Amino acid sequence: MDKVMELEKFVGFLNDYLRISEWSEASKNGLQVEGRKEVRRVAFAVDACMECFEKAKELDADMIVVHHGLVWGGIEYVTGIIAKRLKFLLENGISLYAAHLPLDAHPEIGNNVKLLEIVGAKPEEPFGIYHGKTIGFAGRLNTSLDKIVQSIEQNLGKARVLDFGGCDVRKIGAISGRGSFALPEAAEREIDTVITGEAEHSAYHVAKELGINVIFAGHYATETLGVKALAKVVEELGLETFFIDVPTGL
C-alpha cells in the first residue's frame, strides 16, 4: 500500500528541499491552492492549466506540483480562467504547488543541472544572473557542437541552433525557459555555447555579434527535466508519482 502523508508535512518537505524561502520573485512559490489534508498520489507537470488539472483528476491525484503556477504576483480578480481553474481544483480537493526559480536553480535536480547532464557536462560554476540571483550553471567539456545538438535532440526533441561560436565546444552554459538574457554574461565568462529553451528573435544578432552558439531546445521541453527529477525524489518518500505531459511545442 502506498504511503500517505499529511499535506502540511509534505509541503514542509518540498519547501525545505527546494529552498523556497531563499527566493523572492513574481511566482508565488510553494502551496498555491490547498486541497485535501492528506497526500498519496502526486502529479508533476510544467504548467498549471485545465488540461493538466483534468488529467490529474482522472488519475486521482491529491496534489499537482508544477513549474509554472497560477499565482504570479497576486490574484486581482477571481473571474474568467482564474475562477474556472480555482473552482476545479477546490471542488476536486486537489492541491497545487508551484516551484519556479527554485526548480531552475536547484543544484541537484534543477532544470539547468539536468540540461548539462544531458550533454555530459558537470555543473562547475553558477551562471545566469537573474534579478540579482544566479539560476543557471556552466561547465567545461571538449566536444563538437554537432554532438551537443545530437544529445539534446535525442532527449528533448528538435532544437534550433545559432552556430555563431564555432564547431568546437569548450565551455557550455545552461538556462532553461527564456535564457537569452544571459548571452552578454556568457561572452564575459568565455562561454562559447548556451543551451536554453525559447527561441527569442532578439537573441539572433546578440549571439552573432558576441560569437556564441545558442541551442534553443524549447521552453516546455527544457522545463520538464526538473519536475521529473523532483518526482523521483518524492517517490523515495513512498508517495506515488506520475508526470502529466501537456506539451506546447514552444
Q: Is residue 226 part of a domain?
A: no
- Number of structural domains in the chain: 2
**Statement to judge: residues 61 and 114 lie in one domain:** no
**Statement to judge: residues 71 and 115 lie in one domain:** no
**DSSP-derived secondary structure letter, 138:** E
**Statement to judge: residues 122 and 143 lie in one domain:** yes
Specify the CATH number for the domain of residue 27. 3.40.1390.30
pLDDT in tens, 101-135: 999 999 999 999 999 999 999 999 999 999 899 99
Neighbours of 201 (CB within 10 A): 7
Contacts with 76 (C-beta within 8 Å, 6 or more apart), sequence order:
none
**Across the chain, where does the E strand assignment appear?**
5-6, 30-33, 38-39, 41-47, 63-68, 95-98, 125-130, 133-144, 160-163, 168-174, 193-196, 213-216, 240-243
Q: Is residue 211 part of a domain?
A: yes
Angle value at C-alpha 117, between 21 and 134, nearest 5 degrees: 35
pLDDT in tens, 56-112: 999 999 999 999 999 999 888 999 999 999 999 999 999 999 999 999 999 999 999
Which of 99, 114, 131 is a domain's end point?
99
Helix/strand/coil for 107: coil
**Statement to judge: residues 43 and 92 lie in one domain:** yes
Return the closest-CA partner of residue 106 out of 131, 129, 123.
123
Beta bridge partners of 138: 125, 173
Helix/strand/coil for 149: helix
**Statement to judge: residues 82 and 145 lie in one domain:** no
Q: Is residue 15 part of a domain?
A: yes
Amino acid at 89: L
- Give the per-residue pLDDT at 2: 67
C-alpha cell of 78? 477571481
**Statement to judge: residues 94 and 118 lie in one domain:** no
C-alpha cell of 7? 499535506
Burial readout 73-82 (b: 16 or more C-beta within 10 A, e: otherwise): eeeeeeeeee
Domain that holds residue 126: 105-219
pLDDT in tens, 201-245: 999 999 999 999 999 999 999 999 999 999 999 999 999 999 999
Whole-model pTM? 0.96
**Statement to judge: residues 124 and 73 lie in one domain:** no
**Statement to judge: residues 63 and 135 lie in one domain:** no
- Give the per-residue pLDDT at 1: 45
